[in-house]
Homo-oligomer: A and B are copies of this chain.
Amino acid sequence: MSTDEAMTKALLPDSQLPTHWYNIVADLPEPMPPHLHPGTKEPVTLDDLTVIFPPALAEQELSTQRFIDIPDEVRQIYSIWRPTPLIRARRLERELGTSARIYYKYEGVSPIGSHKTNSSVAQAYFNHEAGVRRLTTETGAGQWGSALAFACSAFGMGCEVWQVRASYDSKPYRRMLMETFGATVHSSPSELTQAGRTMREQFPDTTGSLGMAVSEAIEAALTDPENARYSLGSVLNHVVLHQTVIGEETLKQLAMFGEDQADLVFGCAGGGSNVAGLSFPLIRENLAGTTTTKVYAVEPSACPSITQGRYEYDHGDVVGMTPLMKMYTLGTDFVPPPVHAGGLRYHGMSPLLSHVIQLGLAQGLAVEQADAFEAGVLFARAEGLVPAPEASHAVAAALAEARRRTSDADACSIVIGMSGHGQLDLPAYQEYLNGTML
């Protein structure tokens, strides 16, 4: 293995933008347990799903096809920022005194600063194609909400976002970003839905949860079936599917660096779409016998779905409007402490990623919040990039591994899923630096 010692980052031209999304379902040794209808408990059908999603997305959710074409119009919007760079963190390596070669796949160059636009643009496109005029959604820290707000503005659609109250109150910048794109934003739980009003009555002091916000957004879509559909930013199969462009690009870029494979991959896991999008194309190569990449889904100790949750059928929302999905879950009534990594506060985990972990093709890892911010600050001072707090969890896990590798014999390649930058999460860094973090 000889790596290019002069290169800092691998860029791909527009012409190398992936032409398809990769559906790992086609290659898994065992089929995934089906989503179940919340009423009948029977496997959901296309018809069930088209109540809240447009036909194309419902088909993707149930598809077993290996590759799914990315429409030209979606690729054209992707091409504003994609392919994203794979960057070697040479200064960080030196700082750590590690023999590991550390790369990060940087999704922060997207319009909103995170990977979420990979799915929002696709979802807005397929909804627009189906004649939908308005999308409703939930958001935590606001990455997904701003991604969908941009995508809706690109297709001339309305966008209504329920944002978890903890983030709505502490992270006003992403709300402003959503509003700059023309979206309407509500603090969740809100008074606008039956689900929200019930929550507020039962838990007047709640700081909200993604599960609550999902219930509100679904209810809002269901009550305007003529115009509105619901859109989810993680967890579901079709969302994970859209994110696989990350991993497809990474494979090509590792080769540009002269790497045969990523030995270790660390991605943060909230709903699971970032680490799944990065790793699934790499796991395909493992399954084909060409690589031996180890994949770690890194979650916060405060919301440890994979490492402390149960693998069982559960709802994706609090009220029970979503299908039952077999996944790692802490239970829909789990309300995490207001950790700053708002994107990692979800009670469940992508059923597809959960299944992949069950099959032993990836594994979970929990990181303490303070360790994540410590790693984030170290990374920022070495590389200039302040990682999103979500991504800092992956950074912390990668750094712990890199620190253990100091000799040439220990050398390996590490890829970090840098899901986004943390410039809108600076108050959390401030609290960490001031020692006032909860």
Contacts and interface: CB of A to CB of B under 8 A. Distances in A.
A: contact size bracket? 35 or more
A112 B381 CA distance: 12
Copies of this polypeptide in the complex? 2
Contact of A176 (B90, B179, B382, B427): B427
A433 B381 CA distance: 35
A128 to B, nearest CB: 14
A113 interface: yes
A321 to B, nearest CB: 31
Interface string A141-172: 00000000010011000000000000000001
Given A6-B15, A9-B79, A76-B8, A176 B426 contact: yes
Given A9-B14, A111-B385, A380 B181 contact: yes
Given A79-B8, A80-B8, A154-B91, A177 B14 contact: no
A90 B112 contact: no
Given A424-B423, A426-B173, A433-B179, A13 B11 contact: yes
A430 B117 contact: no
A192 interface: no
Contact of A80 (B15, B176, B384): B384
A223 interface: no
A151 to B, nearest CB: 9
A430 B185 CA distance: 13
Contacts of A367: none
Contacts of A377: 180
Given A79-B8, A424-B423, A430 B176 contact: yes
A426 B90 CA distance: 33
A87 interface: yes
Interface in A420-438: 423-424, 426-427, 429-430, 433
Given A7-B14, A79-B8, A80-B87, A177 B111 contact: no
B380 A180 contact: yes
Nearest to A153: B381
